[in-house]
Structure 1
Amino acid sequence: MHQLHFSFFPLIAHGHMIPTLDMAKLVVSQGIKATIITTPLNESVFIKAIQRNKHLDLEIDIRLIKFQAVENSLPEGCERLDLVPSPDLIFNFYKATAMMQEPFEQLVEELRPNCLVSDMLFPWTTDSAAKFNIPRLLFHGTSYFALCVAESIRSHKPFKNVSSDSEAFVVPNLPHQIKLSGSELSPFDRMEEETSIFHIFKTVRESVLKSYGIIFNSFYELEPDYVEHYTKVLGRKSWDIGPLSLCNRDIEDKVEIGKKSSIDKHECLKWLDSKTSSSIVYICFGSVAIFTASQMQELAMGLEVSGHDFIWAVRTDNEEWLPEGFEERTKEKGLIIRGWAPQLLILDHQAVGAFITHCGWNSTLEGISAGVPMVTWPLFAEQFFNEKLVTEVLRNGVGVGSVQWQATACEGVKREEIAKAIRRVMVDEAKEFRNRAKEYKEMAKKAVEEGGSSYTGLTALLKDISTYRFTYI
């Protein structure tokens, strides 16, 4: 096993790079060599964590390839998804990622890894891996549940059976009755064959089917029906090895995961320590979502109306839209973090009683692993699917009523609904939610321990790659 070499190539977005780093740390902890491939701007996402782990003899190599931003009409230095200035330029970003193929293959030829773990949105890496006769493993940064829902929608197109986007339909052939509306689907879920974007995503899906298998940042006990559905009904090879975030045990790893935190850890902990158990609402919507001025004000007023203490991580380009006098009025009850927040550190603190989240999978799983009930507020991507998992299958959270897929300028949720959802989780049904959250936390912890389901999944993954290497190389 110690001779194996895993090469990791994540999409250049924080939500993909952070779990990839954790996965690399997990692999090297088993005595296996790991190399992360990224672009020069994103080296900083990995380098400090890599250096911190050297004293544990956990050596992770990092190699860089150029990202051709300017050549694709992107601003210079636009090497990460959250830096793309307009949704109209996402296609340019995608084209720039495809132009990394030649230098990437040159690097693979030099490194000669035993397998390649790459992102779904790098479909060409399946062909690259085949050139060197190594398996391509797909890393899906989401849940089994979300992929099962997406596959059913693509196959059966149930949104065509209703008269409007606001009308609910049942997603067919799933272990639970799951209802969605057209407004909660992305444009990609409903696109027709004549569109150019359709052909891109068709290529992505075809590369998924041709890959050797799929790695999930999840654990069996969390969504057993959907692990079984994905592997046995849909017939896909997979390994569940999460929650990956649980490999971050030191305070420094929890504070500086992804970026350096914009608040001093001692200041943050001092504030948290001053609060009683389960009394704080933590609010964070990831690194991509941008709210309108009116929605920022509705959220602020919903927090104020709820009457609970809070920590709110606010993007620096959103902070000017806070209501006038809000910070002064809530200075004893609230802590506003401008920029990157130490989310793992905050969620793990006993004072946190609820997490208002956009339902990105990393955040959702971090909340589950910390045993914190959720107030769900999905915005785009597969977040509406993850919300259904939290609120209807796990019953570990309450929605604010967000029903419109919107990648930018997020708006439409009123303060009354925000305060109502907070009250349900923090007061009215607090005991039930906290008991369930505690159960999932214990499940997550046991899954990654020796003999647990994710530990076994990792062992099976390494054995599969070892066997592949022995047979074909």
Structure 2
Amino acid sequence: MAEAATPHLLVIPFPAHGHMLPLLDLCHLLSTRHGLTITIVVTPGNLPTLSPILSSSPSISPLILPFPSSPYIPTGVENTYQVPPNLIRNFIPALSGLLYPILQWFHSHPNPPVAILSDFFTSAWTFRLAQSLSIPRLSFSPSGAFGIATIHQLWREMPSNSDPNLLIPFPSLPNSPSFPLSQLSTLFRDYIKGDSVSESIKENFLLDIQSWGFVVNTFSDLEGDYIEQLKKDIAAGHRRIWAVGPLVASPVERKTDAVIKEKVLTWLDGFPEGSVVYVCFGSQVVPPPQQAAAISAALELSGLRFLWCVREGTEVPAGFEERVAARGFVVKGWAPQVEILGHAAVGWFLTHCGWNSVIEAVVAGVALLTWPHGADQFIDARLLEDAGMAVRVAEGRSTVPEAQELARILAAAVGGRNSRVRERAAEISEMAKKAVAEGGSSFRDLHSLVAELKKMTVANEQSYAELPAFKNLI
């Protein structure tokens, strides 16, 4: 085989911060460590999210396209951060309007990409795009292997979604877990047969199962059994799954507010090691007033030291911040989560269990207090609880816990009797760091992925026998 030229990869994110950031971290690694040329599809409203990676990685360039006009998305909206949770699903069919402009760009490019790497929420139309171009399409998952395995099974088998209390078994997965329907994917629970958005989401995941390959932000020591099960379940029968995480181990320099960052970290400097509980429920969650009041009351009653990050719009009760000033700090809006979790004073993390937050906590060696809300978060919580580095304290997006009871649970969880949970968090952190270090499982998988892309570059004039023949799909 001839010496491989520099691979050119087309990357297509899903416009949600929790999806975009780990994919950008991967692009940063592929560009700076492995020399790949990368084009990232982005709409104008999402370009600021790419700015840090574009300035730090010269071989990465944006393909800026207008956000498609869609009846599903309000005019002027380009990111899920700008919409209520019930509208997030609408982005899945709306983004298909990017297919034809990308196809036109590809045919006019002097050195077109040899493969597409796209978020698993864009699978249906990027699968067709790859077919039309006769190049492989790889699915990027911002969720863990356990989460992907469950959602693939749901859409493949289509159990009834009419009873939220129905127990859904997953007998093929390690330890044969089962979950109430209410704790599984909202996208699946909201499926209505014949509804255009629902059917496009179903098609999306059925075609995701047929992806040429999968790239997952996880690592073998954490999810090895689930990774192996994925290799058995994928529709094409291949075993092209690369677990390249935790990607946060080599993060892209994010856009930060230096003033807030310094203020937060200076405040944490004043507390003993492992004594602070970090509280954050992700970038999409604005707790309703009753829930915010219950959380604040529980934090006050618990006597714990805490740092609470709330999204703008959260109603923090009047006088709360003044009453807890000696041991509590409320950050409104953006907070430097990676740096907070990495600070020695932080020992616990009360979290909704979004996968990015989970991975960041795993790397930092911080124990989890789990309050899963939806999506894949109940799956993530189960994984970390089974691994011994997490304690369940509440569950449900709309749950309003009794403040005194939540305070008791938090105080008991953080108490000395759970020192083993923190020890286990430290052990798994070491596994995560070894995975991405030279010779580790994720290090090897990343090199294997790059080697595969280089083979494609050499063979880009050849037809791929494993890919479907060209069809008039446009």
- Give the TM-score of the pair, scaled to structure 1: 0.88
Gap change, CA 1:340 and 1:470, over 3 Å in 2: same
Q: Deviation string for 1:373-394 (max 9, x for gaps)?
A: 0011111211111111111x21
Query: How far has the Cα of 1:138 moved from its partner?
Result: 0.6
Q: Report the counterpart of residue 83 of structure 2 in structure 1.
A: 84
RMSD between aligned alpha carbons?
2.4
Q: Report the counterpart of residue 246 of structure 2 in structure 1.
A: 243
**Separation in structure 2 between the aligned mates of residue 214 and residue 187 of structure 1, nearest angstrom:** 22
Q: Is the 8 A contact 1:262 1:339 kept in 2?
A: no
One-letter identity of the residue aligned with 2:132: K
Q: For structure 1, which segment, 181-190 or 359-368, has the greater mean C-alpha deviation from structure 2 after superposition? A: 181-190
One-letter identity of the residue aligned with 2:455: T
**Separation in structure 1 between the aligned mates of residue 365 and residue 85 of structure 2, nearest angstrom:** 36
Query: How far has the Cα of 1:262 moved from its partner?
Result: 7.7
Q: For structure 1, which segment, 30-39 or 443-452, has the greater mean C-alpha deviation from structure 2 after superposition? A: 30-39
Q: Does 2:355 align with 1:361?
A: yes
Match of 2:415, SS state, is helix
Query: How far has the Cα of 1:84 moved from its partner?
Result: 1.9
Match of 1:264, SS state, is helix
Gap change, CA 1:366 and 1:201, over 3 Å in 2: same
Q: Report the counterpart of residue 67 of structure 1 in structure 2.
A: 67
Q: For 1:27-66, what aligned pairs fall within 5 Å after superposition? A: 27-28=30-31, 29-51=33-55, 53=56, 59-66=59-66
Q: Report the counterpart of residue 453 of structure 1 in structure 2.
A: 441
Q: For 1:118-133, what aligned pairs fall within 5 Å after superposition? A: 118-122=118-122, 123-133=124-134
Q: Report the counterpart of residue 392 of structure 2 in structure 1.
A: 399
Query: How far has the Cα of 1:304 moved from its partner?
Result: 1.3
For residue 434 of structure 1, the aligned residue among 391, 399, 422 is: 422
Percent identity at matched positions? 34
One-letter identity of the residue aligned with 1:296: A
**Separation in structure 1 between the aligned mates of residue 60 and residue 30 of structure 2, nearest angstrom:** 10
Q: For structure 1, which segment, 179-188 or 206-215, has the greater mean C-alpha deviation from structure 2 after superposition? A: 179-188
For residue 443 of structure 1, the aligned residue among 424, 427, 431 is: 431
Q: Report the counterpart of residue 413 of structure 1 in structure 2.
A: 401
For residue 317 of structure 2, the aligned residue among 314, 323, 326 is: 323
Q: Is the 8 A contact 1:291 1:411 kept in 2?
A: no
Q: Is the 8 A contact 2:280 2:350 kept in 1?
A: yes
Q: Is the 8 A contact 1:6 1:32 kept in 2?
A: yes
Q: Deviation string for 1:38-93 (max 9, x for gaps)?
A: 11111111113432x25xxx532122110035x53744431101112572x44653
Q: For structure 1, which segment, 223-232 or 369-378, has the greater mean C-alpha deviation from structure 2 after superposition? A: 223-232
**Separation in structure 1 between the aligned mates of residue 312 and residue 184 of structure 2, nearest angstrom:** 28
Q: Is the 8 A contact 1:6 1:114 kept in 2?
A: yes
Q: Report the counterpart of residue 291 of structure 1 in structure 2.
A: 287
Q: Report the counterpart of residue 469 of structure 1 in structure 2.
A: 457
Match of 1:72, SS state, is coil
One-letter identity of the residue aligned with 1:50: L
One-letter identity of the residue aligned with 1:272: L
Aligned residue-pair number = 450
Gap change, CA 1:398 and 1:232, over 3 Å in 2: same
**Separation in structure 2 between the aligned mates of residue 156 and residue 61 of structure 1, nearest angstrom:** 40
Q: For structure 1, which segment, 151-160 or 346-355, has the greater mean C-alpha deviation from structure 2 after superposition? A: 151-160
Gap change, CA 1:387 and 1:280, over 3 Å in 2: same
**Separation in structure 2 between the aligned mates of residue 212 and residue 73 of structure 1, nearest angstrom:** 29
Q: For structure 1, which segment, 104-113 or 439-448, has the greater mean C-alpha deviation from structure 2 after superposition? A: 104-113
Structure 2 gaps of 5+ residues are: 462-474
Query: How far has the Cα of 1:278 moved from its partner?
Result: 0.3
**Separation in structure 1 between the aligned mates of residue 45 and residue 221 of structure 2, nearest angstrom:** 37
Structure 1 gaps of 5+ residues are: none
For residue 17 of structure 1, the aligned residue among 15, 20, 24 is: 20
Q: For structure 1, which segment, 293-302 or 179-188, has the greater mean C-alpha deviation from structure 2 after superposition? A: 179-188
